[in-house]
Structure 1
Amino acid sequence: MRSILRAQSGVRSEQELHADDPLFVQSIARAMQVLSSFHQAGRPLTLNEIAAAAGIGKSAAQRVVHTLKTLGYIERDADDRGYVPGIRILDHTLDYLRLNLLIARASPVLLELRRNVRERVDLSLRDDLRLVYASRLQSKRETFFATLVGHSVPVFCTSGGRAVMAHLSDGEVDDIITRSDRTPFTAKTLTEPEAIREKVREARQNGYAVTLEEVLPGEVALGVAILGPAGVPRGAIHVAGSLGEWQAEDFCARFAPLAAEAARAISRF
């Protein structure tokens, strides 16, 4: 089974796209490449590994790492085995969370929803082909890993993602399907384009999307889109439970109205 997605270190490709932009600062992009090298890391990275992941030379990596370490954005790990992100990264995470008006508006609504459903409640925001968790309110079953903001899941195979796609045109849906890496997470992940389109059509009709064990075995998940101006989907609310405790039909009947009400309270037209 695939792991939950983390951000890809795509700064390098972005840098190539903006190579002819006179206002684009290459040195800043290089620093972001170095920071992005940790996205897929499962342990501290050596200088050589950072250079390879960032796609830059060792000498350039050494200068960037030294600068970021001096500023507190990279540090040596506790056992001195390599480099890890520094504590000052969290300052920027806090800035995003507290200054994002949608997240601020959603927070009390999500807390009330969690009190009512007593299951896991997540808020995700769309970033092209993925949804990034910006708020996660755990249930009694959750692990530390499942409560971290910043983790992300694909749009094409998740309840929130299909709820988002339900508010897009057929052409936009096809574009998402075509560009997505549709490698399955589980044996029940739908990867065929027409099967995904059918689930999107169901979400349009029902006002919510539901997935069964498509990302995590034993999980039923329900998603409702959060809409911005002119009805453009910006993200989704997810409610997730265990198929060991719920029949899918009962789960949807119980929680879809509550999730839809919460989504309306957060959305602004």
Structure 2
Amino acid sequence: MQQKSEPASSEDDDPLFIQSLARGMTVLEAFRQAEGPLSLAQIAARTGLTRSAAQRLVHTFRKLGYLTLSEDGRGFRLDLPILDLTHDYLRLNPLVRRASPVLLELRRNVRERVDLSLFDGRRMVYAARMQSKRETFFATLVGNSVPTACTSGGWAVLAMLPEAEVDAILDDHPIPQITPRTLTDPAAIRGQIALTRENGHALAIEQILMGEVALGVAIPDADGRPIAAIHIAASLSEWAPEDFRRRVAPLAAEAVRSILPG
């Protein structure tokens, strides 16, 4: 069940915080990882709202165009204006704008999948996905997220963080077992983070998809704090891991240098 996210600061102590707007946003957030349209009862359960409050908010979002009735009339789903907001976010994000031409050139050079993911605490959120011939539809969607602790780009980001922040990410919640080879032991993941610091990049084998090798390099901001990562992924049926590393690591590092401002 989708849990209501906590506000960045205490609602009671913030005179500018609008409670009604926050409750409305929980309705949109209820659709995260939903398997299909949601009924009013499901929306109320996922948000912690009463059914009456959920009904009023759903009605408002339908009037605004952000929600629509499902084809069978039994639930609601997000509608097209949500994509308008997504497009505007990507269009106005300075990192995505700088990275886009660099990623296109990198994709032409490596001829494998190239992704840009943004660091968001315990998850990496994909902002650009340039697929290879092997990808499934949902795996290529912008906005898809994966645990920071389970990916090459996530390991690269963690390698640039202070140890206290790494501990908070690894120890706060159980790490999901996505594939039989996904590392879930924090000590084992810390070992990969240490290797990443030595090498300047992370190499992950079958952490998110079986049969996949992925190399990740973090992108820092002007203060040296990681804010994103480039992932390059390929098939183990076509690449030995060390051959893949030797081929793409220099290209990924050069791409990051090209993206950095100034």
Scaled to the shorter chain, the TM-score interval is over 0.9
Aligned residues: 262
Native 8 Å contact 1:120 1:239 kept in 2: yes
CA shift in 2, pair 1:15/1:265, >3 Å:
closer
Say whether 1:267 aligns with 2:227.
no
Range with bigger deviation, 26-35 or 186-195: 186-195
Say whether 1:215 aligns with 2:208.
yes
CA distance in 2, matches of 1:36, 1:56: 13
Say whether 1:106 aligns with 2:99.
yes
Listed as ranges, the gaps of 5+ residues in structure 2 are: none
Say whether 1:178 aligns with 2:162.
no
Range with bigger deviation, 177-186 or 90-99: 177-186
| Alignment-mate amino acid for residue 91 of structure 2 | R
State the match for 2:234 in structure 1.
241
State the match for 1:203 in structure 2.
196
State the match for 2:123 in structure 1.
130
| Alignment-mate amino acid for residue 158 of structure 1 | T
Offset, 1:103: 0.1
State the match for 2:21 in structure 1.
28
Listed as ranges, the gaps of 5+ residues in structure 1 are: 1-7
CA distance in 2, matches of 1:99, 1:16: 26
Q: Moved runs in structure 1, 4+ residues, more than 4 A? A: 8-12
Say whether 1:66 aligns with 2:59.
yes
State the match for 2:142 in structure 1.
149
CA distance in 2, matches of 1:129, 1:114: 27
CA distance in 1, matches of 2:227, 2:9: 27
CA distance in 1, matches of 2:181, 2:59: 46
Offset, 1:18: 2.3
Native 8 Å contact 1:11 1:29 kept in 2: no
Offset, 1:106: 0.2
Say whether 1:82 aligns with 2:83.
no
State the match for 1:118 in structure 2.
111
In the superposition, the TM-score normalised over structure 1's length comes to 0.93
Offset, 1:190: 1.1
Q: Percent identity?
A: 57
In the superposition, the TM-score normalised over structure 2's length comes to 0.96
Residues 197-248 of structure 1: CA deviation (Å, up to 9, x unaligned): 1111100110100110111111101000011112110010000001111100
Native 8 Å contact 1:156 1:180 kept in 2: no
What does 1:36-51 align with in structure 2 at a 5 Å threshold? 36-51=29-44
CA shift in 2, pair 1:9/1:19, >3 Å:
farther
